Amino acid sequence: MSLKFSCFITGTDTGVGKSLVTAAFLKALARAGVPAVGMKPLAAGAELRDGVLFNDDVALLASESTFAVPPGLTTSYLLKEACAPHVAAALENVVIDPALLSRAYAQVAAIAPAVVVEGVGGFRVPLTDGVDTADFAADLRLDVILVVGLRLGCLNHALLTADAVAARGLKLVGWVANQIDPAMPHQADNVEALRMRLPAPLLGVVPWMHVPSPAAAADALDLSLLPGWPGAH
């Protein structure tokens, strides 16, 4: 089965809605009739439920994925402590192997029609002493989607992230504004400032929701602006 679409979703920081946007991409792919897999190769902040480690973000992507692969491929490292992955791994005497992450993606991409990979934290989060999330993204060579959490400081964070993506030789092909702080003043002005400065199209503004909904987030996005999006012209 040939791969029809794949991308890497990063964010301006942790807690900006990467998982929601990743789930929205999966929802949109399902609507387009393309079976898809959501991958979160590393997840920190897991708890035991009935003797099994559980993470909300991992569960969300699994629920929105429409192509089944072994769970060990979609999340290679599921860590308990909700902190930077290299710290969480050290607490459990786990050594993160970046090559394992890349192999898992290659295996999924070889069988799935579409793959959406969610990063961890922001774009430059350390994974080991010498490797960070940007290195992992560069190894995959995927187009990048940036999720901008609309809150004070997001302009600087978004523009620096775009620079970091370009510095790794990757292409930022779209960005999503996510209203994570409904009380933030001048949101429209901030979005417009980024629209003028980021070298990629705005795919949509995800509204603030009491209960985040991948379907509602997908409704707010125009993914036909992405190169290679199924059905786009």
Give the active site residues: 40
Q: Which residues contact 230 (CB under 8 A, 6 or more apart)?
A: 4, 5, 29, 32, 33, 34, 114
Strand runs (DSSP E) across 42-106, as ranges?
42-44, 47-49, 52-54, 77-79
Distance CA 108, CA 136 (A): 16
Distance CA 129, CA 89 (A): 12
Supply angle C-alpha 232, 165, 214, rounded to 5. Answer: 50
Distance CA 180, CA 109 (A): 31
Residue 169 has what DSSP assignment?
T
Distance CA 39, CA 26 (A): 10
Distance CA 62, CA 175 (A): 23
Distance CA 229, CA 233 (A): 9
The answer to whether 206 and 20 are in contact (CB under 8 A) is: yes
